[in-house]
Amino acid sequence: MDANDIIWRNNAMAAYHVPPNLPKVNAKVPVVGVVEDELFAPKRASQPIADAIPGARLFLYESPLGHLGCAVHLGKASEAIVKFIAEAEKN
């Protein structure tokens, strides 16, 4: 991966601001985060997102890879995601 690409992506992610619109979300959604994420720590990212969306459910999992764990260890979240979908289909 090109270092300039990484810098560009990180800057774009850090500048993207959606919180004012989150309370408008009408769907129940799972919010998934990695406990050790050093770029988007749950305290600053996934937790506030889950708190702002009515009916959202927060699922955090551990990954020694930090931020990269969101792609590499997504299998850790699959059980919670499958359970969330099954419950949503019942309602």
6 vs 85: which has the higher pLDDT:
85
- Model confidence pLDDT, tens digit, residues 12-68: 877 877 788 899 999 889 999 999 998 889 998 899 999 999 989 999 999 999 888
The pLDDT value recorded for residue 1 is 65
Residues 59/32, Cβ–Cβ less than 8 Å: yes
Task: Enumerate the β-bridge partners of residue 59.
Answer: 32
For the chain, how are helix, strand and coil distributed in percent, rounded to 5? 55, 10, 35
Quickly state the pLDDT bin for 6 (edges 50, 70, 90).
confident
The pLDDT value recorded for residue 71 is 81
Domain edges within the chain: 3-90
